[in-house]
Amino acid sequence: MDQLHGYYLEDLEVGMSDSFAKTISEADVYGFAGISGDTNPVHINEEYAQTTMFGQRIAHGMLSGALISTVAGTKLPGPGAIYVDQTLKFKAPLFIGQTARAEIVVTEIDQRRRRVKCDTHVWVGDKQIATGTATFMVDKRPN
C-alpha cells in the first residue's frame, strides 16, 4: 500500500482489519450540519436537545458512518477503493466530546468480481454504537 493506492485485491486476506478514531467536537457537528444540510435541532440546539431522550445534543448518525468511509478510503482497502454499498444500524448515540473509533474487518473476497465485503463497526470505548456491512470494488495489481 502507498499514499496514492491502497491494497490491491491480491494483497487482501479475510480477517484483515484497520480503524480510525476521532474525538467529535462541536465544530465537527456544526460542520457536518452545514455540509449535509441536516439541521435537526437534536444536533445543533442544546435547549431543544435537553428535552429529548438523550438529554443533550448528539452527533449525526451519518457522521459516525463517515468515519467508516475514512477507514475505507485511507487505510483498508485504502486509496483507490470504490464504495459499492453499505448497511448501517445505529445502536447508541454519539455525543459531542466522545471519541468514536470506526473499524473495518475483511470478511469475503471475490477475486473474479473484484469485490471485498467487510464488517463495519463504530465504537465508543467498548460500546458498539453502529454496525453494518460494506462492499468495495478493489483494483487488481497491474501487470
Q: Name the more confident of 71 and 142.
A: 71
- CATH code (residue 91): 3.10.129.10
Count of structural domains, the chain:
1
Give the closest residue to 118 by CA, choosing from 86, 142, 143, 94.
86
Pairing mode, if any, of strands 115-124 and 17-23? unpaired
For the entire predicted model, the pTM comes to 0.92
**pLDDT for 81-91, tens place per residue?**
999 999 999 99
* DSSP bridge partners of 23: 99
Position 45 in a domain: no
Q: What is the span of the domain harbouring residue 113? A: 9-24+64-137
